[in-house]
Structure 1
Amino acid sequence: MRSSFPPFACLAAFEAVARRRNFSLAAGELHLTPSAISHQVAKLEQFLDIRLFERTAHSVELTVAGDDYLNRVSGAMAAISAATDNARKGVRNSMHVHSTPSFATLWLMPRLTDFVKEHPSISLSMSASVTHSDFSAGHTDIDIRYGAAHWPQLTVRTIFDEQIMPLASPSFIRRHRIVTPEDLMHVPLIQSTVGVLQWPDWFTAQHIVHTPGSYAYRFDRAFMALDAAVQGLGVAFESTSIGEPHLRKGRLKPVFETGEYLPVQAHFLVYPERHAQRPEVMSFVDWVLERAASEPDLNMRRAGLGRSSRPRAK
């Protein structure tokens, strides 16, 4: 029976050439000759029955099949490298967490010191991007995702119930004399283009027939939309949980004293069920959920606000 796992030396040669785009540089990195590297790559191509590189006299480029294969194996190779490095350093409880950028920047990082203090034996590595982790690559233990929760065959844990409402800087609210929801029809609005809820949802919940024809500013990350609001560029429609650092320091505030918001569940801890067998993974999951539960409606309690407005059916 033919093995489905190619020789690791071939994978190492392929990854080095793909990264360096040069056989000689890859050979120097792996302490081999260029001919040996070429032989390993050719052996891998024969094993896979695909062509991985287009070679010319002056360059080496990945084929479409080669680029796809690199994307699939690079995470696994990084995981092997990290595991090896940890083993050399005597680290036993290592874990890699991937997160959406806004959650990592505004919620997780300000609280991470507490996790480290509570779990000093866990070696934690983190990354952040808008792309969901591919658990089959073997690199990520936990993925913190944003969006509608539909990930079959994965364990999905809701982090918190969020409150989405208009947020702006105090000076912006005073300058534009915003008093009623209708006033938002005449001021610059900031759109988070990937938000689960959008401005039309809020206007509908206020029984206002208004769909913004355009937005003054559009961003595909919540932290950028919030930063724009802090700078007084307009009103953001964002989560008070994610915007908590700005609210706590007074850089932003709910636009309306009644604090009407739309409820949503949009941030989730996601991982394969098999990962739940690892104590360090469950320690992190439990810590995030406990920390989130200990801060319910933090900004609403402080301001004495909080009235849910659910949008009407469209």
Structure 2
Amino acid sequence: MNPRLVTANRLSGLRVFAVAARHGSYSAAAAELCVTQAAVSQQIRNLESSLGCRLFVRKGAGMVLTYEGRTLLPFAEQGLATLEQGLNQLLSPAAGPLQLSVLPSFAARWLMPRLWRFTELHPHLELRLQPSQQLADFAAGEADLAIRYGEGNYTGLHSDWLMSDTAFPVCAPALAAQLQRVEDLIRLPLVAGPEYAGVSWANWLALSGNEHILPHCRQLTVGDGNLGLEMVLAGQGVALSRSVLVADLLREGRLCRPFSTELTPQHRYYLVWRPDSSRLNDIALVRDWLKQEALKSRDWGLGSGRSCI
């Protein structure tokens, strides 16, 4: 028999096999594929004959996979998904901008100052940022790629670690002289975002051994970390912020770090995308660039201790 014909028949049979395995029923598979139950049965028999093994056995009203069927199924599903992805990429019109979902504070303080380097390296690929506190719905097509701050477990999505950070107080250089000891924080407003991933003034003060001053401190909670940093840049208090957000401001001397104690948040930054996305090549370009930029950030370092001007 013509080898090409055998391959074509196997591909057709594998699709029917995967659908029947998902339903555990030839009749349900026939309904999904819009063919007769007899046609499904024939396709499965042909595939079994070409492979030289049984893939299903009948159990009650349904069909159950054999050992060989269970072994074949994940490879069949992966192969069919890859083939579908390639066909979609080939046949779809121009993809347009790559939608990148990102937290507003991360976008403003870390991503935007670096994004020009990506546009110079890849002028053919347009990135469209979607700053939002809400998680983008990948299934609804709201994003192609996201930078999320969490534990890295997102159902149905692939996640890749990008970077970790720490949390510590920062202030404007003009306020540095007023902060010789942690107890001096009583004199100034303490700015923070909503407690998230264990980052709070209460936890930082406990870590530094100064939880006793908390009742005497004036705290101001803002809805977004970037808003808190704007207040502190204007000299209106001390912020408990994360290293990723303040690294550039510290290097530029616009903020300083009065105390060395630092919290380790429970969450980290992850890149997240659909494993079956039709834009995996573009996603890979952005992922690799972001990882290079994150590595540069770690190499620069932030120092510790009193780094105030």
Query: Shorter chain as normaliser: what TM range?
Result: 0.5 to 0.7
Q: CA deviation at 1:216?
A: 3.8
1:68-107 aligned within 5 A: 87=93, 91-92=94-95, 94-107=97-110
* Contact kept? 2:191, 2:239, Cα under 8 Å: yes
The correspondence for 1:292, drawn from 276, 281, 294, is: 294
- Please tell me the root mean square deviation across aligned C-alpha atoms, in Å: 2.8
The correspondence for 1:232, drawn from 235, 258, 272, is: 235
Q: CA deviation at 1:111?
A: 0.5
**Partner residue of 2:181?**
180
**Partner residue of 1:204?**
206
The correspondence for 2:156, drawn from 132, 153, 157, is: 153
Point out where structure 2 has 5 or more consecutive residues left out of the alignment.
1-30, 33-88
Q: CA deviation at 1:297?
A: 6.1
The answer to whether the aligner puts 1:248 opposite 2:215 as a matched pair is: no
SS of aligned partner of 1:103:
helix
SS of aligned partner of 2:134:
coil
SS of aligned partner of 1:229:
helix
* Contact kept? 1:203, 1:209, Cα under 8 Å: yes
* Contact kept? 1:191, 1:225, Cα under 8 Å: yes
> Could you tell me how far apart the structure 2 residues matched to 1:211 and 1:286 are?
45
Q: TM-score, normalised by structure 2?
A: 0.63
Q: CA deviation at 1:117?
A: 1.4
**Once structures 1 and 2 are overlaid, which stretch shifts more, 130-139 or 119-128?**
119-128
Tell me: CA distance 1:92–1:188, structure 2 relative to 1, closer, same or farther (3 Å). closer
The correspondence for 1:143, drawn from 128, 143, 146, is: 146
Higher Rg of the two aligned structures: 2
Per-residue displacement from partner, 1:46-83 (whole Å, max 9, x unpaired)? xxxxxxxxxxxxxxxxxxxxxxxxxxxxxxxxxxxxx9
Per-residue displacement from partner, 1:130-178 (whole Å, max 9, x unpaired)? 111001102310112224444233222222121211100111122xx21
> Which amino acid is the alignment partner of residue 231 of structure 1?
A
Per-residue displacement from partner, 1:229-253 (whole Å, max 9, x unpaired)? 1111111010122112322221211
Tell me: CA distance 1:124–1:100, structure 2 relative to 1, closer, same or farther (3 Å). same
SS of aligned partner of 1:274:
coil
SS of aligned partner of 2:133:
coil
**Partner residue of 2:12?**
none
> Which amino acid is the alignment partner of residue 123 of structure 2?
P
Point out where structure 1 has 5 or more consecutive residues left out of the alignment.
3-82, 308-314
Q: CA deviation at 1:306?
A: 6.3
> Could you tell me how far apart the structure 2 residues matched to 1:281 and 1:100 are?
18
* Identical residues among aligned pairs (%): 26
**Partner residue of 1:11?**
none
Q: CA deviation at 1:269?
A: 1.4
* Contact kept? 1:101, 1:130, Cα under 8 Å: yes
SS of aligned partner of 2:101:
strand
> Could you tell me how far apart the structure 2 residues matched to 1:134 and 1:286 are?
23
Q: TM-score, normalised by structure 1?
A: 0.62
> Which amino acid is the alignment partner of residue 112 of structure 2?
M
> Could you tell me how far apart the structure 1 residues matched to 2:180 and 2:262 are?
16
The answer to whether the aligner puts 1:115 opposite 2:118 as a matched pair is: yes
> Which amino acid is the alignment partner of residue 293 of structure 1?
L
* Contact kept? 1:189, 1:216, Cα under 8 Å: yes
* Contact kept? 1:191, 1:215, Cα under 8 Å: no
> Could you tell me how far apart the structure 2 residues matched to 1:194 and 1:144 are?
20
Tell me: CA distance 1:132–1:277, structure 2 relative to 1, closer, same or farther (3 Å). same
> Could you tell me how far apart the structure 2 residues matched to 1:193 and 1:134 are?
23
Tell me: CA distance 1:180–1:276, structure 2 relative to 1, closer, same or farther (3 Å). farther
* Contact kept? 1:159, 1:267, Cα under 8 Å: yes
